[in-house]
Structure 1
Amino acid sequence: MGKKDEMLTVEEPLYHDTWKLLKKYRDVVWSLELSVQQVRNKFEIEYGNTIEDFLDSVYLAGADIAGSDIEHHAQCIERSHRMLKLLDSAIDLLRNKHKNGESYYWLLYYSYLSPQQMRNVEEIIEKLRPHIRDISMRTYYRKRQECIGALSSILWGYTSKDSKEVLEQFVPGKQETT
């Protein structure tokens, strides 16, 4: 982790959580795909049919698979899948509703979400040029921090500190009634 990344992640815990989540995104997607494929292969080898057919027959027969390895593995896959869906829906919301959503989306995509990780920041910036005009290394790091902050607000909620700052812009100072 670079010195700039360390400074950013120490400042704000929610930023840190979002940044860690994004850094693990590719690994989680890969792991989830492998797990699903392994379970499918295991079922086809052991039971001679697909997992969907197997589960349908188990449910129809009224069999209980609670506490089994099958149930545990299915729960792990489901938990990872839900986490990815949550992140994906937050990214979609950011892309479609935030004032800088489209450029933030591409920044996230090339930095964290694309199937193949870019070799370095220069390669990310080169990929971003069609989406973000006049992007420099400095602009990349600044926009990345802004983008992760906006995504943090979606994932973890708008903090009271943020709300107070926004409210101050519309209603400056305390207004007391006498």
Structure 2
Amino acid sequence: MAGKRTKKALAEDSRYHDTWRLLKKYRDVVWSMELSVQQVKKEFEIEFGSTIDDFLESVYLAGADLGGTRIENHARCIERSNQMLKLLNNAVEILRTRHKSGETYYWLLYYTFLSPQQLDNVNEIIEQLQPHIRDIRRATYYRRREQAVEALSSILWGYSSKDCMALLADFFPDSETEI
């Protein structure tokens, strides 16, 4: 019965869906970032005859303002995407090093969402997980993957007061807790 309540709570929790969406887009964002950076570098070399780093150094030294230009807008877009990737990577590292099941969750997330090459199916993911998680079966994979995404959601978005109340109720079942 508790398992059904947990699944229903996850289905209603938008943070879980946000994390799921973020993880599903991870490879696409990384790929897009790599392409964007390469494209901007080539544009600079062609248009200005120098590297981006040299160009920006000279612009800053000269006190020039690139505000509102296509170059600045493109750079801001790249920076926002880069910040999002750093946020996710840091959260995954915190999960890996601090959570009691962190190493297991890390490998589940890595082979499912974060590895450079997407594996074709669940069987391939389970095969890659074998050295890291003993005797993992399909049902265990799905259950643990859901737990990993939920734990990562807590790091990314924090606990809601509802989560805290449920946690307090587990520790102090006889007392009534109020917000």
Shift of 1:175: 6.1
Contact 1:107 / 1:128 at 8 angstroms: preserved in 2? Answer: yes
Partner of 1:64: 65
Stretches of structure 2 lacking an aligned partner (at least 5 in a row): 1-7
The answer to whether the 8 Å contact 1:9/1:19 transfers is no
Structure 1 residues 96, 171: closer, same or farther in 2, change over 3 A?
same
Report the alpha carbon displacement of residue 8 of structure 1 after superposing the two structures with TM. 9.0
Aligned 1:152-163 pairs, distance under 5 A: 152-163=153-164
Moved more, 128-137 or 165-174: 165-174
Q: Following the alignment from structure 1 to structure 2, what is the Cα–Cα distance between the partners of residues 62 and 11?
A: 51
Task: Using the aligned pairs only, state the percent identity.
Answer: 64
With the length of structure 1 as denominator, give the TM-score of the two structures.
0.91
1:123 matched residue in structure 2: 124
Distance 1:28 1:36, change over 3 A: same
Matches within 5 A, 1:88-99: 88-99=89-100
1:114-158 alpha-carbon deviations (Å, 9 max, x no partner): 000001000000000111111111000000000000000000111
Residue identity matched to 1:171: F
SS of aligned partner of 2:131: coil
Please give the alpha-carbon distance, in whole angstroms, between the structure 1 residues aligned to 2:36 and 2:10. 31
> Residue 4 of structure 1 corresponds to which residue in structure 2?
none
The residue number in structure 2 matching 1:171 is 172
Equivalent positions of 1:71-82 (< 5 A) are 71-82=72-83
Runs of at least 5 residues in structure 1 that lack an aligned partner in the other structure:
1-6
Q: List aligned pairs for 1:81-160, cutoff 5 A.
A: 81-160=82-161
Conserved in 2, the CA contact under 8 Å of 1:8 and 1:145?
A: no
Moved over 6 A (4+): none
Give per-residue Cα distances to partners, 1:39-78, cap 9 Å, x unaligned. Answer: 0111111111110110010111111110000110000000
Q: Classify the secondary structure of the residue corresponding to 2:46.
A: helix
* CA RMSD across the alignment: 1.6
Aligned counterpart, 1:41: 42
